């Protein structure tokens, strides 16, 4: 009798809801983590100490662990972190400091190698396939092209005044090189490792910048401007200058220019701009006429900004976490000692069943392809 009732119940369920689907017993568990390299604001240890700090994005950006890193000045003190990048195929995160580049295993947290680089290091970028890195010398005349597995320098591209920020296009075909002693943004061919084009000149020396996913637009900050400029990558010409309305530039504690830090939301609908003097983020539409939408007050000076891969969160370098949709500050990065953490060098890494599968970028790059 019980067997008959069970079959009858099962038949009714199928008639009502359709054929049942058996769920897999062990569905993959996806976890999202924010990796923050410190000291990531100069060599100030008051913003999280020294190491690679990991935060759980899925659980209120709660502190998870501190990974011990290298990167020291000759006097033994922790050196300024200049950049962070991830290679998923090599299961590795890379940190550049003033003097060296280190490769760290994402699963074990162990340092695989550290290499001292002639003329120092600045903010690097990784090819989409995780095999090649463009590493600028420390505001010097060279970009080093490296093998990410070995750290071997494959080629040197010279002829710059002050090599600084690097963006690898999502296509993997072009690399955008920011010489902060020049108003022109250079473009390198990622296959031949030679300069193949340029964008500009812009109104002043170029500071942080981003490009969109299709690599048709470059959005740059420049010295002395509280705002940003736009370059057409295809024609190489500057096509717009946008000034922040309602706020005046003033003295900043770091970087020396009013707007240091700029990012596109991954869907490329908005552009977020740092304002160091007024301790704010200014939000614009990312398409002409670049309407200024709102301003978000922060508790400390921002000098950089990036976003979570899904575009849900914005990460200014002062350590506050902003929900993009509501513009609200929803969390504050704090370490194991409950001290506030801040860094201009952070990146999201996603794991499935304990293995890294996807990484974001330290720049707020557009991701519409």
pLDDT 10s digits, 81-130 = 999 999 999 999 999 999 999 999 999 999 999 999 999 999 999 999 99
Separation of alpha carbons 329 and 313, rounded Å: 9
Burial track 60-87 (b if 16+ CB lie within 10 A, e otherwise) = ebebbebbebbbbeeeeebbbbbbbbbb
Query: Given this model, what pLDDT does residue 24 score?
Result: 54
Comparing CA positions, the residue from 70, 93, 69 lying closest to residue 83 is 93
Query: Given this model, what pLDDT does residue 25 score?
Result: 58
Separation of alpha carbons 64 and 54, rounded Å: 5
Place of tokens 């060296």: 100
Query: Is pLDDT larger for residue 14 or for residue 163?
Result: 163
The residues, any chain, with a CB within 8 Å of residue 161's CB and separated by 6 or more, are 141, 179, 181, 182
Alpha helices, DSSP H, located in the chain? 2-17
- Give the largest Cα separation in the chain, rounded: 88
Q: With a threshold of 0.75, does the pTM exceed it?
A: yes
Place of tokens 């400091």: 97
Report the relative pairing of strands 125-126 and 111-116 from DSSP bridges: unpaired
Separation of alpha carbons 328 and 321, rounded Å: 8
Backbone φ and ψ of 52, nearest 5°:
-115, 110
Structure tokens at 37: 């390299």
pLDDT 10s digits, 238-296 = 999 999 999 999 999 999 999 999 999 999 999 999 999 999 999 999 999 999 999 99
Q: What is the mean pLDDT of the chain?
A: 94
SS3 string, 178-218, reads EECCCCCEEEEECCCCEEEEEECCCCCCEEEEEECCCCCEE
- Superfamily of chain region 29-359: YVTN repeat-like/Quinoprotein amine dehydrogenase (2.130.10.10)
236 Ramachandran zone, left/alpha/beta (phi>0; psi -120 to 50): left
């Amino acid at each position: 009798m019980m067997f008959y009732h069970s079959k009858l119940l099962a038949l009714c369920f199928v008639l009502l809801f359709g054929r049942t689907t058996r769920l897999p017993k062990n569905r993959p568990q996806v976890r999202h983590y924010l990796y923050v390299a410190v000291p990531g604001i100069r060599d100030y240890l008051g913003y999280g100490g020294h190491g690679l700090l990991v935060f759980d994005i899925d659980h209120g950006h709660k502190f998870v662990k501190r990974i011990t890193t290298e990167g020291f000045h000759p006097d033994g003190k922790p050196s300024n972190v200049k950049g962070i990048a991830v290679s998923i195929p090599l299961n590795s995160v890379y940190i550049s400091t003033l003097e060296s580049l280190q490769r760290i295993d994402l699963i074990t947290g162990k340092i695989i190698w550290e290499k001292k680089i002639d003329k120092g290091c600045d903010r690097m970028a990784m090819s989409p396939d995780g095999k090649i890195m463009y590493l600028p010398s420390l505001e010097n005349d060279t970009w080093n092209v490296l093998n990410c597995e070995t750290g071997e320098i494959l080629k040197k591209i010279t002829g710059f005044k002050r090599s600084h920020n690097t963006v690898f296009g999502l296509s993997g075909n072009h690399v955008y090189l920011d010489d902060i002693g020049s108003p022109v943004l250079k473009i390198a061919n990622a296959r031949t490792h030679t300069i193949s084009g340029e964008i500009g000149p812009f109104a002043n020396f170029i500071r942080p910048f981003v490009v969109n996913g299709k690599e048709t637009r470059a959005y740059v900050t420049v010295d002395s401007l509280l705002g940003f400029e736009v370059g057409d990558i295809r024609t190489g010409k500057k096509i717009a200058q946008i000034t922040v309305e309602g706020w005046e530039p003033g003295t900043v504690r770091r970087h020396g220019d009013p707007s240091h830090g700029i990012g596109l939301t991954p869907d490329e609908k908005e552009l977020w701009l740092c304002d160091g003097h007024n301790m704010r983020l200014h939000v614009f539409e990312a398409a002409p006429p670049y309407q200024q939408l709102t301003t978000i007050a922060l508790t400390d000076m921002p000098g950089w900004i990036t976003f979570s891969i899904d575009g849900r969160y914005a990460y200014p370098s002062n350590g506050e976490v902003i929900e993009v949709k509501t513009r609200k500050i929803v969390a504050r990065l704090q370490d194991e000692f409950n001290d506030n953490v801040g860094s201009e060098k952070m990146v999201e890494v996603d794991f499935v069943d304990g293995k890294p599968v996807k990484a974001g970028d330290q720049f707020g790059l557009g991701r519409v392809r």
